[in-house]
Structure 1
Amino acid sequence: MSWEVKPVTTWSVQDVREWLIHSDLGHLAHPVCTENLIDGQALLMLKEEDLRRHPLILPTLGDIKHLIYRVNTLRAGVNITDEREKISLGLTKSTSFQSEVIDCSTSDSESEISSTQNGHGNGHSQAGNHQSPGTYPMNGGVPLLPLCSQCSMHLRSSRFNRSSRLESEKWKTALAMGYGLCVSWLTAVTMTVVHDRVPDMEKYPPLPDLLLDNIPHIPWAFEMAEVTGMTLFVIWILVLLFHKHRFILARRFFSIAGTIFLLRCVTMLITSLSVPGVHLDCKPAPYGTWAKRLHAAYIIWSGGGMSIQGVRTCGDYIFSGHTVSLTLLNFFITEYTSRNIYFLHTFTWVCNCFGIFFILAAHEHYSIDVFIAFYITSRLFLYYHTLVNNRALFKSHQSFDAKRTWFYFPLFSFFEQNIDGRIPNEFQLPLTGVDLHNIATRFSHKFSAFSEKIPSPRSRGIKREKSKTKVK
């Protein structure tokens, strides 16, 4: 048999067929060799998941396990000296971390290798595991290179659980933006409705509140809360602008913010609380016609609901939209910037906390409004990112968890359909020199094409002369 004397990497499809027959797996020759043309190299790269998926789809578990056992036996006996060929065949991917090892300090690496070779680990001698100098433990004919502690920590923290696909999917970002804008307009309309239903201050005084009763009213505090919010917004725009995966981040921001404010529309309509402060001039505002109501909603929507923009609303208490904005911006900034930027993260948290304090000091919201807003925003952000960062745990769309996610979180399942892990925090310029050059080239081509269509003064004069001669 010719396949026995040839290296596995040089086997033809016929050699693989004969090997299957010799291994008592001849009934698999048709799907493996005839239909899918598996040769020696493809055989070494074969994995168990390949046998379960299309186009192979082997129906019997015993056949799958026996074939993988035989393939692993072949891998163990393969003797390949070229490191690139090993990586190409996947022989080092599952047995060592050579493709992802980072640069480490020499002393740390040498000490780790020395402890492995001498059979010592955690200060205890391990008999029987002594390695001769310059050798390493083998797995399937491939040396297992020991990793230093810095390498292991880096691999666990930064490499583990990263998304395998990072497609921008700009059309989904456009849909998420449209969703967020529609919800913001619905929120503005809802605020005009609840303003019309605000309880009479003389009949319904402010409710008892543990914090508001002990915090003196500060007239300028609400404006300061909005200033801190604008500061966080500017930082988030800069992060979004320079982040490499800006479209994925924007999609998540609009989807989460839209969902929270949609929930806020419901809570505002269900219950109308009395005005939290006697200093507030809040009275029911009957608009009469829907045209006036929509005009008032447009003023709220265009001003972002902020008092520094001249917007004044009443009755929108459960729950605080300002707290939602502050908390959401803070969480997005800290999530999508490097954890080594301690100053930035401390600054955003200080802005978040002081912004909430200023809202309470202005007596614009009850304490329960602020607490519910912070809790809902933080929990939804954390649940969303926990789900998306661990989607690899339930990759199969037929699993119970996947079906349940589609039912309870349809927007999440749609927007994150192709994301199965953590988004790395990588930054780049929004426009490179090549992009600017391409834009300038396109503009010059369009301008030249447009200028060619416009007749010159000389050609217009010639046309006039021709027209005059025709008249004569």
Structure 2
Amino acid sequence: MALQVDGDVSRWSVQQVGQWLETEGFPDYVPILCDQHRLDGQSLLSLREDDLRKPPLQMTVLGDIKRIILAVHRLQSKNPSAMQELGLTHSDGYPSLGTTTQCHGRHPHGGACEGTVVSGLQAPCQGNGHHHHHHHSPSPEPWHLSNGKWKDEELDPEYWKTALSVVYFLFVCGVTAFVMVIVHERVPDMRTYPPLPDIFLDSVPRIPWAFAMAEACGLTLCTMWILVLLLHKHRSILFRRLCSLVGTVFLLRCITMLITSLSVPGLHLQCSAKVDLDNWGKIQRALTIWSGMGMTLTGVHTCGDYMFSGHTVVLTMLNFFITEYTPRGWYFVHTVSWVLNLFGIFFILAAHEHYSIDVFVAFYLTTRLFLYYHTLANTRAYQRSRRARVWFPLFSFFECNVDGPVPNRFCWPFSRPHLLKIIIG
């Protein structure tokens, strides 16, 4: 018998509930929920997360619990009349059936969400691709509930914190540029200290144009990230996290560059013509590096800043932000992002601009810090740990009002753009 999901769910039999579970991708739970505990349509609509966690069910697989509850929420949102007849209201912990996940008009925190599809991008806030089950309804999915409201609608952009994170990032960039000037003056003489043995550099001949290609990969990733950032509903939080993470990694890089000076990795690097600058000259040189973003494409050439690779940090961080804050179904975007990241790293090594250890350490530290940051933010573990607040005060300050994972929803950054006016009249 075919299952009618849009019918009167409150009249479903136990067998129909079993069919629904199989359709949603939970066949393993049909015996316990239907055969053993006789879950019918009315009891399905009244199902809550606590019912799955506590006796008599006592489910222990967190992912399955969340996915079943999300599927039940979708079912509840499609059957408001049945919910009202059963007396199940959002004040009792059930979804507010008058609230949908589509945005109409302006969002209270800025950005307009229009109920229109433009160039394949759904203007209503699109569901997060990182948390839903493979068997899902095409309609937008609800997210975590708090006091009868969707949490993603409650996220405060806190623009003033984002401004502070930008100041922090720019300050760290300035410190990094000044440290690069110092280490350039301290780089060991190539005639006394030849390049260190390196498995990759000794095996692969140098490609002169490779470093320019690595920076081109970085610029492409940056363009992709800017587009994602502009269209993301919670762009302020994302930009704040990027500035915080990149600033922290580059601050660590300043320390590693200062404490140990490695010899130049290749004789092609002209690092012998060093000039002892006074303090004002060092500041001017640092401003030149800062304004040129440390890129050879902008005419910046330095030596001594080897441990670890700043270009690898930027490539990897942009890749991880793009893949984290776009839906899981965007396979093409994720593939392009990873290809650019890996090819950029290869080009850095092929140009013999860094040792292999520089690239490895940069990739490892960047990915670990990104994952550690998001694990703490998504689980809010820092709120229960005094140690986390002491060791990561900046993180705790930026994330104290972000309650759980940030859903990937997309909105037009401007109110009714000209193209949208033409399409919807």
Q: What TM-score does the superposition give when structure 2 sets the normalisation length?
A: 0.68
Alignment partners' CA distance in 1, 2:197 and 2:220 = 32
CA contact (8 A) 1:104 1:151 kept: no
CA contact (8 A) 1:184 1:258 kept: yes
CA contact (8 A) 1:207 1:274 kept: yes
How has the CA–CA distance of structure 1 residues 296 and 104 changed in structure 2, closer, same or farther, with 3 Å as cutoff?
farther
Alignment partners' CA distance in 2, 1:128 and 1:175 = 56
CA contact (8 A) 1:201 1:275 kept: yes
Deviations, residues 118-168 of structure 1 (Å, cap 9, x unaligned): xx985869877568xxx55759xx854999999728556376768564100
Alignment partners' CA distance in 2, 1:307 and 1:428 = 36
Residue 426 of structure 1 is matched in structure 2 by: 409
Alignment partners' CA distance in 1, 2:311 and 2:187 = 19
- Pairing partner for 1:166 from 155, 176, 186: 155
Residue 310 of structure 2 is matched in structure 1 by: 321
Cα deviation for residue 186 of structure 1 reads 0.5
Structure with larger RCO (C-alpha < 8 A, sep 6+): 2
CA contact (8 A) 1:196 1:284 kept: no
Residue 185 of structure 1 is matched in structure 2 by: 174
Residue 204 of structure 2 is matched in structure 1 by: 215
How has the CA–CA distance of structure 1 residues 220 and 166 changed in structure 2, closer, same or farther, with 3 Å as cutoff?
same
Say if 2:244 is the partner of 1:260.
Answer: no
Cα deviation for residue 287 of structure 1 reads 3.3
In the alignment, structure 2 segments of 5+ residues that lack a partner are 53-63, 72-130, 133-140, 146-150, 419-425
CA contact (8 A) 1:192 1:293 kept: yes
Cα deviation for residue 288 of structure 1 reads 2.7
CA contact (8 A) 1:104 1:150 kept: no
Alignment partners' CA distance in 1, 2:289 and 2:181 = 9
CA contact (8 A) 1:222 1:358 kept: yes
Answer with 1 or 2: which has the greater Rg: 1
How has the CA–CA distance of structure 1 residues 276 and 152 changed in structure 2, closer, same or farther, with 3 Å as cutoff?
same
Residue 367 of structure 1 is matched in structure 2 by: 356
CA contact (8 A) 1:161 1:422 kept: no
Cα deviation for residue 291 of structure 1 reads 1.2
Alignment partners' CA distance in 2, 1:259 and 1:207 = 28
CA contact (8 A) 1:277 1:363 kept: yes
What one-letter code is carried by the residue in structure 1 that aligns with 2:68? S
Secondary structure of the corresponding residue to residue 201 of structure 2 = coil
Residue 16 of structure 2 is matched in structure 1 by: 114
Matches within 5 A, 1:116-265: 116=18, 122=28, 136=41, 143-144=46-47, 152=68, 154-155=70-71, 157=132, 165-265=154-254
Alignment partners' CA distance in 2, 1:311 and 1:129 = 70
In the alignment, structure 1 segments of 5+ residues that lack a partner are 1-102, 436-472
Matches within 5 A, 1:4-19: none
Alignment partners' CA distance in 2, 1:342 and 1:190 = 39
Residue 338 of structure 1 is matched in structure 2 by: 327
Alignment partners' CA distance in 2, 1:222 and 1:128 = 64
Secondary structure of the corresponding residue to residue 202 of structure 2 = coil
Cα deviation for residue 283 of structure 1 reads 2.0
CA contact (8 A) 1:199 1:284 kept: no
Alignment partners' CA distance in 1, 2:37 and 2:323 = 45
How has the CA–CA distance of structure 1 residues 258 and 150 changed in structure 2, closer, same or farther, with 3 Å as cutoff?
closer
Across the aligned residues of Structure 1 and Structure 2, the Cα RMSD in angstroms comes to 3.5
Q: How many residues align?
A: 320
What one-letter code is carried by the residue in structure 2 that aligns with 1:280? L
Say if 2:395 is the partner of 1:412.
Answer: yes
Say if 2:250 is the partner of 1:348.
Answer: no
CA contact (8 A) 1:189 1:293 kept: yes
Alignment partners' CA distance in 2, 1:128 and 1:221 = 64
What one-letter code is carried by the residue in structure 2 that aligns with 1:431? F
CA contact (8 A) 1:161 1:390 kept: no
CA contact (8 A) 1:317 1:365 kept: yes
Secondary structure of the corresponding residue to residue 293 of structure 2 = coil
How has the CA–CA distance of structure 1 residues 206 and 111 changed in structure 2, closer, same or farther, with 3 Å as cutoff?
farther
Residue 112 of structure 2 is matched in structure 1 by: none
Cα deviation for residue 204 of structure 1 reads 0.2
Deviations, residues 293-348 of structure 1 (Å, cap 9, x unaligned): 11111111111100011110000000000000000000001111111110000000
Secondary structure of the corresponding residue to residue 203 of structure 2 = coil
Alignment partners' CA distance in 2, 1:130 and 1:265 = 63
